[in-house]
Structure 1
């Protein structure tokens, strides 16, 4: 079923004095046939305001548009679930990050050679893949940043599987001039114990030269907010969770991994996941002495 949002300007007054105004505001709607009074109440609920006296909406338009996670509009839960793949496909020669080696895939045992080893009609292929851990969609463990941090084999599976997903759809929340995702953009939801997934839309350039320049990222203030808010995992569909064009500092990696919060980079297809209500999984193999490895990241979305 399609999603609907209201576009409008508003003017609020409070019973104990004062006013609040907004222009070009957008609000998720549970259905498209709501009157102006109901939409006004949803606005107050979304903003979390108390002692509101009067609400005036101007220029109201209702359009078919994906939900972005407005408070007061519950996620519809239906029996069953569909699985949304959030991982890029790994193939020989794939360019994930500028300057890092691409994977190579070579045969160890070809099907033709295996026929001499097995019974007639039985054959196998065994191949060798050579790749850096930072390939495709991958997870960073604390060991990636800190020598004494847990490696891939030391991660608690309960922090990687079936996490409540809070997806922030941010395609229109950053610009080439202001690429950083700020804390203020992430304040409207409770993310404690959840996987926070940042949908920037940058994955559309994955595998192309454009992917490596001008990518959005999470600001240090945004990182500190998510740590204090109790997130378990933070993922992004961009080149890096840090700003790779500002020098060698990596505050997002440093702070998140120091706090034991997993980082998943190079996600894709986050636009197919609702703001709330899905479950997220991204589990790497248990490799000792290794900090980063590709994952098959996916979301289980209520049908």
Structure 2
């Protein structure tokens, strides 16, 4: 039996959301009693609530939208590393890890996962990581934070730096109990044609379990 680990924030009516953004809600539109056969639910949400991916259109009017993206970016081998000992994650910090051959990198920062509470601050991810990661072949960067930029940032320098270096973004994964190492990741976005982001069901399994 394959031991998949769910690293997604469950989408509940209590999940935290970006201030001023649309809260998540689920409710039944029709009950089985009403229809005679089935329950039918509806959801209302921002596409940046919970575990999600950013399309470049999120921060660049000329950027790709979700349906334009190559889904292979979000499925394949990934490495989890622990950078929780620092509050500023920069090139020098990442240079301390063996990342050669890594295409998808997941950072376990010092931020504890509290899906029902939006953080007041998050660790800093320096834009200088982008050209470094691109040079060693990384295509996807995942973080256990709601953003790769400071929560009050309007310029979004790290979003732009990653995009300019061909690196895509996965946010709000839950990594508190995940050990460092190599995993298989699946975090596929929904096929949302005009969207700037998408919720994902992110799951991983240890590479050794495939042998």
TM-score, structure 1 normalization? 0.63
Match among 109, 129, 132 for residue 43 of structure 2: 129
Aligned to 1:287: 192
Unaligned runs of 5+ residues in structure 1 are 1-79, 116-122
Question: Aligned with 2:9: secondary structure?
Answer: coil
CA RMSD after TM alignment: 1.9
Aligned to 1:167: 80
Question: What CA deviation, in whole Å up to 9, does each residue of 1:235-268 have, x standing for no partner?
Answer: 10023211224x4221111121233321011110
Unaligned runs of 5+ residues in structure 2 are none
Question: Aligned with 1:82: secondary structure?
Answer: coil
Aligned to 2:205: 300
Question: What CA deviation, in whole Å up to 9, does each residue of 1:125-177 have, x standing for no partner?
Answer: 11111111111100011222222222111111211112x212111222x2xxx
Aligned-partner Cα distance in 2 for 1:277–1:216: 23
Which is bigger in relative contact order (C-alpha 8 A, separation at least 6)?
Answer: 2
Question: Aligned with 1:277: secondary structure?
Answer: strand
The answer to whether structure 1 residue 238 and structure 2 residue 139 are counterparts is no
Aligned-partner Cα distance in 2 for 1:128–1:196: 34
Map 1:65-214 → 2, pairs under 5 A: 81-115=2-36, 123-162=37-76, 164-172=77-85, 174=86, 179-187=87-95, 188-208=97-117, 211-214=118-121
Question: Aligned with 2:112: secondary structure?
Answer: helix
Aligned-partner Cα distance in 2 for 1:126–1:196: 38
Q: 1:143 to 1:260 in 2, by over 3 A?
A: farther
Which structure has the greater CA radius of gyration? 1
How many residues are matched? 207
Aligned-partner Cα distance in 2 for 1:148–1:239: 23
Deviation at 1:232, TM superposition (A): 0.8
Aligned-partner Cα distance in 2 for 1:85–1:200: 18
Aligned-partner Cα distance in 2 for 1:276–1:228: 21
